[in-house]
Amino acid sequence: MSWTSGDIPDLTARVAVVTGANAGLGLESAKALAGAGAHVVMAARDQDRARAARGEIVAAHPGASLEMVELDLGSLESARTAAAVIAGTHPTVDILINNAGLMALPERRTADGFEMQFGVNHLGHWVLTAGVVPSLLAAEAARVVTVTSTAHHFGRRVDPDNPNLEGTYTPWKGYGRSKLANYHFALGLQREFERRELPARSLVAHPGLSNTNLQTHTMDQGGGGLGGAVSLALATRTGMTAARGALPQLRAATDPAARGGQMYAPRFINTGAPVRRPILRRLGLRRAIETLWEVSERMTGVALDFDMAPPSAS
């Protein structure tokens, strides 16, 4: 039988953080987690849309336990502040879904001068994750789920000598690279957990082709070109609903049988039930992860400090 949100176990007393919880996959993930009893921290940039999303979740689940935290992943200061608020409020965090992202935008820069897609899709999540590491490691068996895309297959690993793609940027090149960074981040984080024998787990998920606001936002921002138009048309006509598209990340975050280092995705690449998929692109994986770590630390000034774990978690 296919896995559905009805298979999510009881999450009462668990704390889940979802980035981009104001719309699309993030909203559907927050709704499903809240429906299973979790206290959901909705981390989003647009607080007006987050309030509307909160109303939608409460309408579906009147007893939902929700909290809104402002998070602009295009600002390191905002990511640090959001992480501090979450970690300061919640001594333990059981689930972190790094979901928010941008796709194939024209060349732009974040508040800190980074290439926008790499900055938002990866670097902002890097800083947020680093800030909540103590709360993740204080939980009994926390899970970090990072959302990638089938676009990671055509992405190239980050170039330490040109991390902002100066002079070589194209919208889809930037997107593929950022989604490969998400993939490498998830697998690298699991290696760090395993190396230190820590209780947390890191998994990767991709939603396939889902009809969300992602494609529309890309076109509204003047990005994507012909590929963006095709993506929008396919998502509108044949894409899965946001609720179905969110199932791989929800399964990765909650299925008791899921293990660290695994990837969950639609059965038929871009559509279908959420299933475990093989980890590909292993050639050069270790070096790619090491490079991503070095570049991420250098660009953000933030390291993932696992020594911040409480004594009981070590």
DSSP annotation of 141 reads S
pLDDT at 269 over 90: no
Q: Which pTM value belongs to this model?
A: 0.92
Distance, in Å, from the CA atom of 119 to the CA atom of 110, rounded to the nearest integer, reads 6
3 state DSSP class of 95: strand
CB 160 within 8 A of CB 295: yes
What average pLDDT score do residues 219-235 get?
Answer: 52
Neighbours of 304 (CB within 10 A): 18
As a whole number of Å, the end-to-end CA separation of the chain is 38
Residue 65, strand partner residues? 39
CB 238 within 8 A of CB 253: no
**Is 169 assigned a catalytic role?**
no
Domain 13-297 has CATH 3.40.50.720: yes
Q: 152-194 pLDDT, tens per residue?
A: 999 999 999 999 999 999 999 999 999 999 999 999 999 999 9
What's residue 225's pLDDT?
Answer: 55
Nearest to 204 by CA among 224, 218, 222, 189: 189
Long-range pairs of 222-230 with CB within 8 A, sequence gap ≥ 24: 222/106, 223/103, 223/104, 223/105, 223/106, 223/171, 224/103, 224/104, 224/171, 224/172, 225/104, 225/171, 225/172, 227/104, 227/172, 228/103, 228/104, 228/171
Q: 49-87 pLDDT, tens per residue?
A: 999 999 999 999 999 999 999 999 999 999 999 999 999
Nearest to 132 by CA among 65, 201, 80, 185: 80
pLDDT at 311 over 70: no
CA dihedral 222, 226, 229, 235 (to 10 degrees): -130
Single out the catalytic residue among 169, 175, 183, 264: 175
